[in-house]
Structure 1
Protein backbone atom coordinates (compact mmCIF):
# COMPACT_ATOMS: atom_id res chain seq x y z
CA UNK A 1 0.00 0.00 0.00
CA UNK A 2 1.22 3.47 -0.86
CA UNK A 3 2.26 5.44 2.21
CA UNK A 4 -0.53 7.68 3.47
CA UNK A 5 0.02 11.32 4.34
CA UNK A 6 -2.33 11.29 7.33
CA UNK A 7 -3.10 8.85 10.08
CA UNK A 8 -6.45 7.35 10.94
CA UNK A 9 -7.62 7.99 14.48
CA UNK A 10 -10.05 5.40 15.80
CA UNK A 11 -12.55 6.01 18.57
CA UNK A 12 -13.42 2.66 20.13
CA UNK A 13 -16.33 1.39 22.24
CA UNK A 14 -16.36 0.02 25.76
CA UNK A 15 -14.22 2.08 28.14
CA UNK A 16 -16.00 0.40 31.05
CA UNK A 17 -17.97 -2.27 29.22
CA UNK A 18 -14.90 -3.99 27.73
CA UNK A 19 -12.25 -2.92 30.20
CA UNK A 20 -10.94 -6.49 30.56
CA UNK A 21 -10.65 -6.89 26.79
CA UNK A 22 -8.58 -3.72 26.53
CA UNK A 23 -6.35 -4.87 29.39
CA UNK A 24 -5.28 -7.69 27.05
CA UNK A 25 -5.55 -5.92 23.69
CA UNK A 26 -3.65 -2.71 24.48
CA UNK A 27 -0.43 -4.48 25.60
CA UNK A 28 -0.48 -6.33 22.26
CA UNK A 29 -1.01 -3.03 20.47
CA UNK A 30 2.08 -1.61 22.17
CA UNK A 31 4.36 -4.67 22.12
CA UNK A 32 3.56 -5.92 18.61
CA UNK A 33 2.99 -2.76 16.64
CA UNK A 34 4.07 -4.69 13.54
CA UNK A 35 0.75 -6.57 13.75
CA UNK A 36 -1.18 -3.35 13.20
CA UNK A 37 -1.60 -1.03 10.24
CA UNK A 38 1.06 1.63 10.55
CA UNK A 39 -1.41 4.30 9.42
CA UNK A 40 -3.82 3.95 12.35
CA UNK A 41 -3.87 4.87 16.02
CA UNK A 42 -6.31 4.58 18.91
CA UNK A 43 -7.37 8.13 19.73
CA UNK A 44 -10.08 7.49 22.31
CA UNK A 45 -12.18 4.83 24.01
CA UNK A 46 -15.68 5.77 25.11
CA UNK A 47 -18.30 4.39 27.44
CA UNK A 48 -20.43 4.87 30.51
CA UNK A 49 -20.73 2.92 33.77
CA UNK A 50 -24.04 1.35 34.64
CA UNK A 51 -26.78 3.49 36.21
CA UNK A 52 -25.61 6.86 34.86
CA UNK A 53 -28.71 8.99 34.31
CA UNK A 54 -26.79 11.29 31.99
CA UNK A 55 -26.13 8.30 29.73
CA UNK A 56 -28.03 8.12 26.48
CA UNK A 57 -26.30 5.36 24.57
CA UNK A 58 -26.76 1.71 25.41
CA UNK A 59 -26.79 1.12 29.15
CA UNK A 60 -23.30 0.59 30.53
CA UNK A 61 -21.93 -2.50 32.24
CA UNK A 62 -18.54 -4.06 32.83
CA UNK A 63 -15.99 -2.43 35.13
CA UNK A 64 -17.58 -0.52 38.00
CA UNK A 65 -14.26 1.11 38.89
CA UNK A 66 -13.80 4.32 36.86
CA UNK A 67 -10.39 4.91 38.43
CA UNK A 68 -8.97 1.73 36.90
CA UNK A 69 -10.46 2.50 33.48
CA UNK A 70 -8.99 5.99 33.57
CA UNK A 71 -5.61 4.69 34.72
CA UNK A 72 -5.51 2.25 31.79
CA UNK A 73 -6.13 5.09 29.34
CA UNK A 74 -3.40 7.21 30.92
CA UNK A 75 -0.94 4.32 30.69
CA UNK A 76 -1.45 4.08 26.92
CA UNK A 77 -1.92 7.79 26.18
CA UNK A 78 -5.51 7.33 25.02
CA UNK A 79 -8.31 9.83 25.54
CA UNK A 80 -11.16 8.62 27.76
CA UNK A 81 -14.67 9.71 26.81
CA UNK A 82 -17.80 9.62 28.93
CA UNK A 83 -20.93 8.82 26.94
CA UNK A 84 -23.39 11.30 28.44
CA UNK A 85 -25.77 11.62 25.48
CA UNK A 86 -29.13 11.50 27.26
CA UNK A 87 -31.45 13.69 25.20
CA UNK A 88 -34.15 14.18 27.85
CA UNK A 89 -32.32 15.70 30.81
CA UNK A 90 -33.99 18.31 32.98
CA UNK A 91 -32.55 20.82 35.43
CA UNK A 92 -33.05 18.51 38.40
CA UNK A 93 -30.87 15.84 36.81
CA UNK A 94 -27.77 18.05 36.71
CA UNK A 95 -27.04 17.52 40.40
CA UNK A 96 -26.67 13.75 40.02
CA UNK A 97 -23.82 12.77 42.30
CA UNK A 98 -22.41 9.86 40.32
CA UNK A 99 -22.19 11.72 37.02
CA UNK A 100 -20.65 14.80 38.62
CA UNK A 101 -18.04 12.67 40.36
CA UNK A 102 -17.14 11.06 37.02
CA UNK A 103 -16.69 14.46 35.38
CA UNK A 104 -14.50 15.60 38.26
CA UNK A 105 -12.41 12.44 38.02
CA UNK A 106 -11.95 12.64 34.24
CA UNK A 107 -11.28 16.36 34.14
CA UNK A 108 -7.70 17.48 33.63
CA UNK A 109 -7.69 21.23 34.05
CA UNK A 110 -5.97 23.01 31.19
CA UNK A 111 -5.35 19.77 29.27
CA UNK A 112 -8.74 18.77 27.86
CA UNK A 113 -7.35 15.31 27.30
CA UNK A 114 -10.61 13.54 28.13
CA UNK A 115 -14.04 14.26 26.75
CA UNK A 116 -17.79 13.91 26.94
CA UNK A 117 -20.06 12.65 24.15
CA UNK A 118 -23.12 14.82 24.56
CA UNK A 119 -26.59 15.60 23.25
CA UNK A 120 -28.24 17.98 25.69
CA UNK A 121 -27.47 21.71 25.43
CA UNK A 122 -28.50 21.97 29.07
CA UNK A 123 -25.83 19.48 30.10
CA UNK A 124 -23.30 21.05 27.74
CA UNK A 125 -23.67 24.44 29.44
CA UNK A 126 -23.48 22.84 32.87
CA UNK A 127 -20.30 20.87 32.20
CA UNK A 128 -18.67 23.86 30.45
CA UNK A 129 -19.23 25.88 33.60
CA UNK A 130 -18.20 23.31 36.20
CA UNK A 131 -15.65 21.08 34.45
CA UNK A 132 -13.53 23.19 32.13
CA UNK A 133 -10.94 20.48 31.55
CA UNK A 134 -13.15 18.33 29.31
CA UNK A 135 -13.76 18.53 25.56
CA UNK A 136 -17.08 17.78 23.83
CA UNK A 137 -18.24 15.45 21.06
CA UNK A 138 -21.64 16.03 19.43
CA UNK A 139 -23.40 12.67 19.61
CA UNK A 140 -24.70 10.67 16.68
CA UNK A 141 -27.89 10.24 18.76
CA UNK A 142 -28.92 13.67 17.44
CA UNK A 143 -29.58 11.82 14.16
CA UNK A 144 -28.22 14.61 11.95
CA UNK A 145 -29.34 13.37 8.54
CA UNK A 146 -29.75 16.83 6.96
CA UNK A 147 -26.36 17.99 5.71
CA UNK A 148 -26.93 21.68 6.47
CA UNK A 149 -27.92 20.88 10.06
CA UNK A 150 -24.85 18.72 10.36
CA UNK A 151 -22.63 21.48 8.94
CA UNK A 152 -24.07 23.98 11.43
CA UNK A 153 -23.13 21.54 14.20
CA UNK A 154 -19.59 21.25 12.85
CA UNK A 155 -19.26 25.03 12.89
CA UNK A 156 -20.07 25.26 16.62
CA UNK A 157 -16.95 26.05 18.61
CA UNK A 158 -18.12 24.00 21.58
CA UNK A 159 -17.47 20.72 19.78
CA UNK A 160 -14.08 19.20 19.09
CA UNK A 161 -15.75 16.44 17.08
CA UNK A 162 -19.18 15.88 15.53
CA UNK A 163 -20.54 12.42 14.69
CA UNK A 164 -23.07 12.63 11.83
CA UNK A 165 -25.78 10.08 11.25
CA UNK A 166 -24.35 7.16 9.30
CA UNK A 167 -26.57 8.06 6.34
CA UNK A 168 -24.34 11.06 5.64
CA UNK A 169 -21.25 8.86 5.39
CA UNK A 170 -21.32 8.76 1.59
CA UNK A 171 -22.44 12.35 0.92
CA UNK A 172 -19.10 12.91 -0.81
CA UNK A 173 -20.17 15.80 -3.05
CA UNK A 174 -20.94 17.86 0.06
CA UNK A 175 -18.28 16.43 2.38
CA UNK A 176 -15.42 17.29 0.02
CA UNK A 177 -16.39 20.97 0.18
CA UNK A 178 -15.66 21.22 3.91
CA UNK A 179 -12.60 23.16 4.99
CA UNK A 180 -9.64 21.27 6.44
CA UNK A 181 -10.56 22.50 9.92
CA UNK A 182 -14.11 21.24 9.46
CA UNK A 183 -12.92 17.89 8.10
CA UNK A 184 -10.77 17.37 11.20
CA UNK A 185 -13.89 17.68 13.36
CA UNK A 186 -15.92 15.03 11.52
CA UNK A 187 -15.98 11.60 13.17
CA UNK A 188 -17.65 9.01 10.97
CA UNK A 189 -19.56 6.06 12.44
CA UNK A 190 -18.19 3.11 10.47
CA UNK A 191 -20.04 -0.08 11.33
CA UNK A 192 -23.69 0.80 11.92
CA UNK A 193 -26.06 -2.11 11.35
CA UNK A 194 -29.30 -0.12 11.64
CA UNK A 195 -31.58 -0.29 8.61
CA UNK A 196 -30.61 2.49 6.19
CA UNK A 197 -34.25 3.48 5.72
CA UNK A 198 -35.05 3.62 9.44
CA UNK A 199 -37.28 6.54 10.49
CA UNK A 200 -37.45 5.59 14.18
CA UNK A 201 -33.77 5.95 15.09
CA UNK A 202 -34.33 9.04 17.23
CA UNK A 203 -37.28 7.39 18.98
CA UNK A 204 -35.08 4.37 19.73
CA UNK A 205 -32.43 6.57 21.34
CA UNK A 206 -35.08 8.43 23.36
CA UNK A 207 -36.31 5.12 24.75
CA UNK A 208 -32.79 4.41 26.02
CA UNK A 209 -32.63 7.90 27.53
CA UNK A 210 -35.92 7.34 29.38
CA UNK A 211 -34.74 4.00 30.72
CA UNK A 212 -31.51 5.61 31.98
CA UNK A 213 -33.66 8.16 33.80
CA UNK A 214 -35.39 5.28 35.56
CA UNK A 215 -38.70 5.49 33.72
CA UNK A 216 -40.62 2.23 33.62
CA UNK A 217 -41.22 1.92 29.90
CA UNK A 218 -41.18 -0.86 27.35
CA UNK A 219 -38.23 -1.51 25.09
CA UNK A 220 -38.40 0.08 21.66
CA UNK A 221 -39.53 -2.57 19.17
CA UNK A 222 -37.57 -2.10 15.97
CA UNK A 223 -39.69 -2.51 12.84
CA UNK A 224 -36.76 -2.80 10.45
CA UNK A 225 -36.50 -5.82 8.15
CA UNK A 226 -34.68 -8.72 9.87
CA UNK A 227 -34.44 -6.76 13.11
CA UNK A 228 -35.00 -9.99 15.03
CA UNK A 229 -31.53 -11.17 13.95
CA UNK A 230 -29.81 -8.54 16.07
CA UNK A 231 -26.43 -7.08 15.16
CA UNK A 232 -24.47 -8.95 12.49
CA UNK A 233 -21.15 -7.57 11.29
CA UNK A 234 -21.70 -9.33 7.98
CA UNK A 235 -25.01 -7.49 7.68
CA UNK A 236 -23.44 -4.15 8.64
CA UNK A 237 -20.90 -4.61 5.84
CA UNK A 238 -23.76 -4.59 3.33
CA UNK A 239 -25.23 -1.38 4.72
CA UNK A 240 -24.98 1.51 2.21
CA UNK A 241 -23.46 3.63 4.99
CA UNK A 242 -20.79 1.10 5.96
CA UNK A 243 -17.20 2.35 5.88
CA UNK A 244 -14.69 -0.37 5.09
CA UNK A 245 -10.94 -0.37 5.61
CA UNK A 246 -10.51 0.15 1.86
CA UNK A 247 -12.95 3.08 1.98
CA UNK A 248 -10.89 4.69 4.73
CA UNK A 249 -7.58 4.24 2.89
CA UNK A 250 -8.72 5.03 -0.63
CA UNK A 251 -11.53 7.56 -0.19
CA UNK A 252 -11.74 9.26 3.19
CA UNK A 253 -8.03 9.79 3.91
CA UNK A 254 -7.32 11.27 0.45
CA UNK A 255 -10.30 13.59 0.99
CA UNK A 256 -8.78 14.79 4.27
CA UNK A 257 -10.85 12.89 6.87
CA UNK A 258 -9.10 10.98 9.62
CA UNK A 259 -11.50 10.30 12.53
CA UNK A 260 -13.59 7.15 12.63
CA UNK A 261 -15.85 5.78 15.35
CA UNK A 262 -16.53 2.08 15.92
CA UNK A 263 -19.81 1.27 17.64
CA UNK A 264 -20.48 -1.78 19.81
CA UNK A 265 -20.93 -0.99 23.51
CA UNK A 266 -24.07 -3.10 23.70
CA UNK A 267 -22.47 -6.05 21.90
CA UNK A 268 -20.33 -8.84 23.25
CA UNK A 269 -16.58 -8.54 23.67
CA UNK A 270 -15.96 -11.31 21.11
CA UNK A 271 -17.71 -9.26 18.42
CA UNK A 272 -15.91 -6.07 19.44
CA UNK A 273 -12.64 -7.97 19.08
CA UNK A 274 -13.64 -8.77 15.49
CA UNK A 275 -14.13 -5.03 14.87
CA UNK A 276 -10.67 -4.31 16.25
CA UNK A 277 -9.13 -7.03 14.10
CA UNK A 278 -10.86 -5.86 10.94
CA UNK A 279 -10.13 -2.15 11.29
CA UNK A 280 -6.68 -2.21 12.89
CA UNK A 281 -4.83 -5.48 12.37
CA UNK A 282 -3.09 -6.62 9.19
CA UNK A 283 -4.85 -9.75 7.84
CA UNK A 284 -1.77 -11.97 8.20
CA UNK A 285 -1.52 -11.13 11.90
CA UNK A 286 -5.19 -11.32 12.87
CA UNK A 287 -4.85 -14.95 13.95
CA UNK A 288 -1.94 -14.00 16.22
CA UNK A 289 -3.96 -11.32 18.00
CA UNK A 290 -7.03 -13.53 18.17
CA UNK A 291 -5.02 -16.38 19.73
CA UNK A 292 -3.34 -14.10 22.29
CA UNK A 293 -6.70 -12.71 23.39
CA UNK A 294 -8.67 -15.95 23.41
CA UNK A 295 -5.95 -17.88 25.22
CA UNK A 296 -5.64 -15.32 28.01
CA UNK A 297 -6.88 -17.12 31.12
CA UNK A 298 -7.96 -13.87 32.76
CA UNK A 299 -10.45 -12.94 30.05
CA UNK A 300 -13.88 -14.40 29.40
CA UNK A 301 -15.15 -13.33 26.01
CA UNK A 302 -18.86 -13.42 25.32
Structure 2
Protein backbone atom coordinates (compact mmCIF):
# COMPACT_ATOMS: atom_id res chain seq x y z
CA UNK A 1 0.00 0.00 0.00
CA UNK A 2 1.52 3.35 -0.94
CA UNK A 3 1.70 6.34 1.46
CA UNK A 4 -1.19 8.29 -0.06
CA UNK A 5 -3.57 5.46 0.89
CA UNK A 6 -2.61 5.39 4.58
CA UNK A 7 -5.26 6.84 6.90
CA UNK A 8 -3.38 9.33 9.12
CA UNK A 9 -4.76 12.48 10.72
CA UNK A 10 -3.60 15.74 9.20
CA UNK A 11 -4.46 19.31 10.24
CA UNK A 12 -6.87 21.10 7.91
CA UNK A 13 -8.41 17.87 6.63
CA UNK A 14 -12.10 17.01 7.10
CA UNK A 15 -12.47 13.32 7.90
CA UNK A 16 -15.74 11.77 6.80
CA UNK A 17 -17.21 8.74 8.54
CA UNK A 18 -19.29 6.86 6.01
CA UNK A 19 -22.22 4.49 6.67
CA UNK A 20 -23.03 1.08 5.20
CA UNK A 21 -19.90 -0.94 5.95
CA UNK A 22 -21.69 -4.16 4.99
CA UNK A 23 -24.76 -3.03 3.07
CA UNK A 24 -22.94 -0.64 0.68
CA UNK A 25 -19.97 -2.94 0.08
CA UNK A 26 -20.62 -3.03 -3.68
CA UNK A 27 -20.60 0.77 -3.84
CA UNK A 28 -17.37 0.99 -1.84
CA UNK A 29 -15.68 -1.61 -4.10
CA UNK A 30 -16.20 0.86 -6.95
CA UNK A 31 -15.83 4.16 -5.07
CA UNK A 32 -12.66 3.56 -3.03
CA UNK A 33 -10.34 2.91 -6.01
CA UNK A 34 -11.69 6.08 -7.60
CA UNK A 35 -11.26 8.09 -4.39
CA UNK A 36 -7.71 6.91 -3.68
CA UNK A 37 -6.27 6.60 -7.19
CA UNK A 38 -7.88 9.69 -8.74
CA UNK A 39 -7.53 12.29 -6.01
CA UNK A 40 -7.78 15.03 -8.64
CA UNK A 41 -11.55 14.37 -8.70
CA UNK A 42 -11.90 15.24 -5.00
CA UNK A 43 -11.05 18.15 -2.72
CA UNK A 44 -7.65 17.64 -1.12
CA UNK A 45 -9.05 18.62 2.29
CA UNK A 46 -11.43 15.61 2.32
CA UNK A 47 -10.48 12.19 3.64
CA UNK A 48 -12.22 9.04 4.84
CA UNK A 49 -11.90 8.61 8.60
CA UNK A 50 -13.85 5.38 8.85
CA UNK A 51 -16.69 3.33 7.43
CA UNK A 52 -19.20 2.00 9.93
CA UNK A 53 -22.07 -0.47 10.06
CA UNK A 54 -23.35 -3.81 11.29
CA UNK A 55 -24.57 -7.02 9.77
CA UNK A 56 -28.35 -7.15 9.59
CA UNK A 57 -28.85 -9.91 12.15
CA UNK A 58 -26.46 -8.85 14.92
CA UNK A 59 -28.15 -8.73 18.31
CA UNK A 60 -25.63 -6.14 19.51
CA UNK A 61 -26.79 -3.83 16.72
CA UNK A 62 -30.17 -2.21 17.03
CA UNK A 63 -29.54 1.49 17.44
CA UNK A 64 -30.08 1.89 13.72
CA UNK A 65 -31.64 -0.38 11.12
CA UNK A 66 -29.10 -2.38 9.13
CA UNK A 67 -29.57 -4.72 6.22
CA UNK A 68 -25.92 -5.59 5.60
CA UNK A 69 -25.25 -9.14 4.44
CA UNK A 70 -21.77 -8.93 2.87
CA UNK A 71 -19.19 -11.47 4.02
CA UNK A 72 -17.16 -9.85 6.85
CA UNK A 73 -13.87 -11.25 5.48
CA UNK A 74 -14.50 -9.48 2.15
CA UNK A 75 -15.32 -6.26 3.98
CA UNK A 76 -12.13 -6.44 6.04
CA UNK A 77 -10.05 -7.19 2.95
CA UNK A 78 -11.38 -4.03 1.30
CA UNK A 79 -10.80 -1.86 4.39
CA UNK A 80 -7.27 -3.25 4.80
CA UNK A 81 -6.49 -2.62 1.12
CA UNK A 82 -7.19 1.09 1.55
CA UNK A 83 -6.04 1.51 5.15
CA UNK A 84 -9.50 2.51 6.36
CA UNK A 85 -10.68 2.03 9.92
CA UNK A 86 -13.84 -0.08 10.06
CA UNK A 87 -16.31 0.47 12.89
CA UNK A 88 -18.89 -2.04 14.01
CA UNK A 89 -22.12 -0.31 15.00
CA UNK A 90 -23.24 -2.12 18.13
CA UNK A 91 -25.65 0.43 19.56
CA UNK A 92 -28.39 -1.78 21.01
CA UNK A 93 -29.47 0.00 24.20
CA UNK A 94 -31.44 -2.99 25.53
CA UNK A 95 -28.65 -5.55 25.85
CA UNK A 96 -28.57 -7.84 28.86
CA UNK A 97 -25.79 -9.98 30.28
CA UNK A 98 -26.95 -13.09 28.39
CA UNK A 99 -26.52 -11.31 25.05
CA UNK A 100 -22.78 -10.88 25.58
CA UNK A 101 -22.10 -14.52 24.66
CA UNK A 102 -23.49 -14.06 21.13
CA UNK A 103 -21.25 -16.12 18.85
CA UNK A 104 -21.67 -14.01 15.71
CA UNK A 105 -20.99 -10.66 17.37
CA UNK A 106 -17.95 -12.02 19.22
CA UNK A 107 -16.57 -13.50 16.00
CA UNK A 108 -16.95 -10.12 14.28
CA UNK A 109 -15.09 -8.38 17.09
CA UNK A 110 -12.28 -10.94 16.92
CA UNK A 111 -12.02 -10.49 13.15
CA UNK A 112 -11.97 -6.69 13.42
CA UNK A 113 -9.41 -6.78 16.22
CA UNK A 114 -6.97 -9.06 14.39
CA UNK A 115 -7.44 -7.97 10.77
CA UNK A 116 -4.24 -5.96 10.41
CA UNK A 117 -4.17 -2.59 8.69
CA UNK A 118 -5.79 0.43 10.32
CA UNK A 119 -7.06 0.00 13.87
CA UNK A 120 -10.75 -0.83 13.90
CA UNK A 121 -13.37 0.19 16.43
CA UNK A 122 -16.86 -0.31 17.79
CA UNK A 123 -19.61 2.28 18.16
CA UNK A 124 -21.40 1.45 21.42
CA UNK A 125 -24.41 2.63 23.40
CA UNK A 126 -24.49 0.16 26.30
CA UNK A 127 -21.97 0.48 29.14
CA UNK A 128 -22.50 -3.24 29.78
CA UNK A 129 -21.28 -4.02 26.26
CA UNK A 130 -18.48 -1.45 26.51
CA UNK A 131 -17.04 -3.09 29.65
CA UNK A 132 -17.28 -6.52 28.02
CA UNK A 133 -15.56 -5.36 24.82
CA UNK A 134 -12.80 -3.53 26.71
CA UNK A 135 -11.92 -6.70 28.59
CA UNK A 136 -12.25 -9.13 25.65
CA UNK A 137 -11.01 -7.06 22.69
CA UNK A 138 -8.43 -4.53 23.89
CA UNK A 139 -7.14 -4.03 20.34
CA UNK A 140 -10.33 -2.21 19.33
CA UNK A 141 -11.11 1.44 20.04
CA UNK A 142 -14.53 2.67 21.13
CA UNK A 143 -16.89 5.40 19.99
CA UNK A 144 -19.80 6.72 22.04
CA UNK A 145 -22.93 6.38 19.93
CA UNK A 146 -25.18 9.27 18.96
CA UNK A 147 -28.06 6.94 19.86
CA UNK A 148 -27.44 7.94 23.50
CA UNK A 149 -29.25 11.19 22.60
CA UNK A 150 -27.16 13.48 24.80
CA UNK A 151 -29.09 16.69 24.15
CA UNK A 152 -27.69 18.83 26.98
CA UNK A 153 -24.18 20.22 26.66
CA UNK A 154 -23.09 19.09 30.16
CA UNK A 155 -24.02 15.52 29.15
CA UNK A 156 -21.75 15.82 26.10
CA UNK A 157 -18.93 17.22 28.25
CA UNK A 158 -19.26 14.33 30.70
CA UNK A 159 -19.08 11.85 27.83
CA UNK A 160 -16.03 13.63 26.36
CA UNK A 161 -14.31 13.37 29.75
CA UNK A 162 -14.62 9.57 29.80
CA UNK A 163 -11.37 7.76 29.04
CA UNK A 164 -13.30 4.86 27.46
CA UNK A 165 -13.96 6.62 24.17
CA UNK A 166 -11.62 7.75 21.44
CA UNK A 167 -14.53 9.59 19.84
CA UNK A 168 -17.92 10.85 20.99
CA UNK A 169 -20.66 11.42 18.40
CA UNK A 170 -22.82 14.28 19.70
CA UNK A 171 -26.55 14.53 19.19
CA UNK A 172 -27.40 16.69 16.15
CA UNK A 173 -29.30 19.11 18.39
CA UNK A 174 -25.95 20.33 19.73
CA UNK A 175 -24.59 21.17 16.26
CA UNK A 176 -25.47 24.86 16.62
CA UNK A 177 -23.98 25.31 20.08
CA UNK A 178 -21.04 27.11 18.45
CA UNK A 179 -19.80 29.03 21.48
CA UNK A 180 -19.81 26.00 23.77
CA UNK A 181 -18.24 23.78 21.11
CA UNK A 182 -15.54 26.39 20.44
CA UNK A 183 -14.77 26.59 24.18
CA UNK A 184 -14.01 22.87 24.45
CA UNK A 185 -10.32 22.07 25.06
CA UNK A 186 -8.48 21.31 21.81
CA UNK A 187 -7.93 17.60 22.61
CA UNK A 188 -11.71 17.16 22.94
CA UNK A 189 -12.24 18.87 19.58
CA UNK A 190 -9.69 16.66 17.88
Asked if Structure 1 and Structure 2 have the same fold, meaning a TM-score greater than 0.5 normalized by the shorter chain, the answer is yes
Is 1:128 aligned with 2:134?
yes
Q: 1:154 to 1:161 in 2, by over 3 A?
A: same
Q: Deviations over 1:223-259 (max 9, x none)?
A: xxxxxxxxxxxxxxxxxxxxxxxxxxxxxxxxxxxxx
Contact 1:112-1:135 at 8 Å conserved across structures:
no
Equivalent residue number for residue 170 of structure 1 = 176
CA RMSD of aligned residues (A): 1.8
Is 1:78 aligned with 2:69?
no
Equivalent residue number for residue 192 of structure 1 = none
CA distance in 1, matches of 2:89, 2:160: 19
Equivalent residue number for residue 146 of structure 1 = 152
User: Quick one: which of 15, 19, 30 aligns to 2:25?
Assistant: 19
Contact 1:51-1:59 at 8 Å conserved across structures:
no
User: Quick one: which of 10, 28, 38 aligns to 2:44?
Assistant: 38
Contact 2:120-2:141 at 8 Å conserved across structures:
yes
Contact 1:10-1:41 at 8 Å conserved across structures:
yes
Q: 1:110 to 1:78 in 2, by over 3 A?
A: closer
Structure 2: tracts of 5 or more residues without a match: 1-9
Q: TM-score, normalised by structure 2?
A: 0.91
Is 1:98 aligned with 2:90?
no
Superposed, which structure 2 residues align to 1:208-223 within 5 Å?
none
Contact 2:63-2:93 at 8 Å conserved across structures:
no
CA distance in 1, matches of 2:92, 2:118: 22
CA distance in 1, matches of 2:34, 2:117: 27
Q: Which gives a bigger RCO, structure 1 or 2 (Cα 8 Å, sep 6+)?
A: 1
Q: How many residues align?
A: 181
CA distance in 1, matches of 2:136, 2:149: 27
Contact 1:112-1:134 at 8 Å conserved across structures:
no
Higher Rg of the two aligned structures: 1
Structure 1: tracts of 5 or more residues without a match: 185-302
* SS of structure 1 residue aligned to 2:18: strand
Equivalent residue number for residue 212 of structure 1 = none
